[in-house]
Structure 1
Amino acid sequence: MPGRYPVTFGEVELLRDLDRPDGWMVIRDGVPQSYVDLTDPTYLDFSYTQLMASVIDCLPEGPLDAVHIGGGACTVPRYISARRAGSRHIVVEPDAGLVQLVRDQLNLKSVPRLKVRVMDGRAATTDLRDDSADLFVLDAFSGATMPVELATVQYMTEIARVLRASGVALINVADGKGLPFVKRVASTVSRVFPHAALLAEPGILRGRRFGNVVLTASSGDLPIEALTRKAAGGLTQARCLADEDLSRLVAGAAPIHDGDAVLAPVPPPGLFD
């Protein structure tokens, strides 16, 4: 049922999509957090989830062992399970009330082989086994901002430990004019992973508006040519930056380390009205 619901950390709102009878949006503190279509989990409404799907679709065929830091309504696990039968998911979400709401209202039990751990993202990652994941999705936000403690060299090193040699990390970052935070996170990722790429809509990439950027990284090669075609030809017309292009964007931005004072980006007033 649509409405406002108390959760562990505040309140969320469930909104029904008037254009799609089984489409639902989860909003927290005025910020759209998740969108799911309960009958068609391959339908992705948010542009950044479409970009994540572009990366996932370029991975070798077959089921994936995936870790998701930041649960929301479990949009990406639903998508993967619909596309790749037999995939297994560990979802980490610190808000127990939100997890229960998604179970009760958004049919979480329909996602096979999914385990939810109600924990802090860093603590949960420490508990994960070495070389245990094919995909690591980092999509954790406090309001409209990625927590800085999940953007450090030390945490990216933990992600690399959990991923298999050919495993891929997907990281959702939001930023505005000049992309100063994105550049630092990209520098951090590149410090840990030998191969990295960035996907974003041109307007966001040029710093014309606040929005989401998807970083992907791996210890193995990334399918850059396929990613470039997929991003440019998808519903979200996006660019893929890698190698020298990504280095030029980063342009000497310093990696983030635990304890660094980092000014997290704040969206402009009225962005989500």
Structure 2
Amino acid sequence: MEPAAPRALPSGLATALVFFASGAVLVLEIVALRLVGPYVGVTLQVSSSVIGISLAAIAYGTWLGGRLADRYDPRILLAPALLLGAITTALTLPLVRWGGELLRGGAAPAVLLLAAMAVFLPAFLLAAITPLTVKLQLGDLRRTGEVVGRLSSFGTLGAITATLGTGFIFVAAMPSSWIILTLAGLLAVAGLGLGWWLRRRDPALAVPGKPRTRAVLVTVGLVGSGLGASAPTPCDVETAYHCARVDADPRVPGGRTLILNSARHSYVDLNDPTHLEFAYVQWLGALVDIQKTGGAPIDALHLGGGGFTVPTYVAHTRPGSKQLVLELDGGLVDLDRRELGLTTGPDLGVRVGDARVGLAEQPSGAYDLVVGDAFGHLVVPWHLATREMAADIARVLRPGGMYAQNVIDYPPDRFIRAELATVADVFPHVALIAPRDALDGRIGANFVIVASRGPLPLDEIRSHLDLVDEPVELVSGAGLEEFVGGARVLTDDYAPVDQLLAG
């Protein structure tokens, strides 16, 4: 005689359990991207690693949950799965933050390992809940399709709800650490509550010594939460897009460095807005200085704000200039106002939103200068690096207006060559500013592309570049064509920016 099948969960409880567990996995996946970003960047490879590790965890967790459901009473496994999911979720923070300090960089093994630390264990455990729940509900084989379909549907709806809720609400409302710890707390409450309800419904599920086990699990969870709260964090402020902090320069009383995702992004001198610290910003400053004559006001559009170093430089060296900055991160703008002395107004406006969308809204022929300095970590967002983007920039420039674009690349310099080919496909006159070692493929560096529909004042640009702190080359004509070689033009249909940068 076969043993009686375990009593099914109430339909509503089973549905809610699958909905919640599936949603928790997606919360972990999205937040994992933000946890690992400060250490290995925010690139296509990093996103692919987190998504791939999450899917692997779901696959293996579902497989193991199904095997366990056939061997044991699923009712004795559901609550422990939730509790272990809570503990491993809480441990995510110390694992990533301590591990991130050791794995800092962008090498593929480091990215994969850090992604696994961020999401694999809790996602693996939570993924086992669905097959355990399904097994409990399959009391009538004639309704197998209905049961599996309903639970699968609500699991997917839970994932969708968590994705939208995390992306639109949670990330904007609280730091990633709070999201993780709150999720761990909810999982723990759900596990303890479900275990209590199941034992009350069927006293036979009570196992001697289990209170001690629960006490151990709770202790481990509390320790994990404490370690997560005390683990080193690279952020002073976590915006919707960046892990940001501002460091004081011990050499300069008013010097401040803006760090975004552990990369030195901008430098601002609160006592001297005309001081340009970074080499590439000095090159941009030289291009600002040659606009018009005698410090006359200009109309400038900035794609990306960062620390607002260049817009502030324009405002102080060319009073009366009208400028608009398109900055995606409103939290970063608020940080600039608090920490970096940013003052906006009629002459220096900010539009919070995507740079390409904001560019499309600008009138034709409205600007003397467009500065492209938008980055996702060290990478120009792909949709800002295409021929279509360059064509829209050309549209908003006045005759004789200039486009200056900052690009970071590393040997063998595949991205900068492709971006030069792309810009040259729209603008008939293009030049490149870069250190000689970078042009020779010996070092990674900033490159600044200069483009115009009219002839560029190359002699005047060279004379101003001679005044910057470090020697730099201005390449144009045949030399630039040789450097670009046969690089392919980037388009909205083909722009593998991350892969080109990775070499």
| TM-score of the alignment, normalized to the shorter chain, above 0.5 | yes
Amino acid in structure 1 at the alignment position of 2:258:
V
C-alpha distance in structure 1 between counterparts of 2:271 and 2:502, whole Å: 32
- 3-state secondary structure, aligned to 1:41: coil
Deviation at 1:86, TM superposition (A): 0.7
- The structure that is strand-richer by fraction is 1
Question: Which residue pairs with 1:118 in the alignment?
Answer: 352
Q: What CA deviation, in whole Å up to 9, does each residue of 1:178-210 have, x standing for no partner?
A: 211101100111110111110001111111111
C-alpha distance in structure 2 between counterparts of 1:43 and 1:65, whole Å: 21
C-alpha distance in structure 2 between counterparts of 1:198 and 1:111, whole Å: 33
| 1:127-206 paired onto structure 2 within 5 Å | 127-206=361-440
C-alpha distance in structure 2 between counterparts of 1:36 and 1:14, whole Å: 10
C-alpha distance in structure 1 between counterparts of 2:373 and 2:345, whole Å: 18
Deviation at 1:112, TM superposition (A): 6.7
Percent of aligned pairs sharing the same letter: 35
Deviation at 1:75, TM superposition (A): 0.4
C-alpha distance in structure 2 between counterparts of 1:73 and 1:10, whole Å: 13
Question: Which residue pairs with 2:251 in the alignment?
Answer: 19
> Which structure has the bigger radius of gyration?
2
Q: What CA deviation, in whole Å up to 9, does each residue of 1:164-188 have, x standing for no partner?
A: 0111001000101121110110011
C-alpha distance in structure 2 between counterparts of 1:10 and 1:214, whole Å: 24
Deviation at 1:59, TM superposition (A): 2.1
Q: 253, 257, 264: which is aligned to 1:32?
A: 264
TM-score (norm 2): 0.51
Give the length in aligned residue pairs: 266
Amino acid in structure 1 at the alignment position of 2:332:
L
C-alpha distance in structure 1 between counterparts of 2:415 and 2:458, whole Å: 23
Greater RCO, CA 8 A, separation 6+: 1
Amino acid in structure 2 at the alignment position of 1:157:
A
CA contact (8 A) 1:77 1:111 kept: no
TM-score (norm 1): 0.93
C-alpha distance in structure 2 between counterparts of 1:232 and 1:145, whole Å: 28
The answer to whether residue 300 in structure 2 is matched with residue 80 in structure 1 is: no
The answer to whether residue 240 in structure 2 is matched with residue 8 in structure 1 is: yes
C-alpha distance in structure 2 between counterparts of 1:221 and 1:266, whole Å: 30
The answer to whether residue 336 in structure 2 is matched with residue 107 in structure 1 is: no
The answer to whether residue 292 in structure 2 is matched with residue 51 in structure 1 is: no
C-alpha distance in structure 2 between counterparts of 1:183 and 1:261, whole Å: 13
Question: Which residue pairs with 1:97 in the alignment?
Answer: 331
Amino acid in structure 1 at the alignment position of 2:292:
P
CA contact (8 A) 2:382 2:495 kept: no
- 3-state secondary structure, aligned to 1:136: strand
TM-align CA RMSD: 1.7
C-alpha distance in structure 1 between counterparts of 2:337 and 2:308, whole Å: 10
Deviation at 1:6, TM superposition (A): 2.0
Aligned structure 1 segments of 4 or more residues deviating by more than 3 angstroms? 265-268
Question: Which residue pairs with 1:210 in the alignment?
Answer: 444
CA contact (8 A) 2:258 2:266 kept: yes
CA contact (8 A) 1:232 1:239 kept: no
CA contact (8 A) 2:269 2:275 kept: yes
CA contact (8 A) 1:90 1:114 kept: yes
- The structure that is helix-richer by fraction is 2
C-alpha distance in structure 1 between counterparts of 2:322 and 2:420, whole Å: 28
C-alpha distance in structure 2 between counterparts of 1:159 and 1:50, whole Å: 22
- 3-state secondary structure, aligned to 1:90: strand
Question: Which residue pairs with 1:271 in the alignment?
Answer: none
CA contact (8 A) 2:246 2:339 kept: no
CA contact (8 A) 2:408 2:447 kept: yes
Structure 2 gaps of 5+ residues are 1-234
- 3-state secondary structure, aligned to 1:91: strand
Structure 1 gaps of 5+ residues are 269-273
- 3-state secondary structure, aligned to 2:481: helix
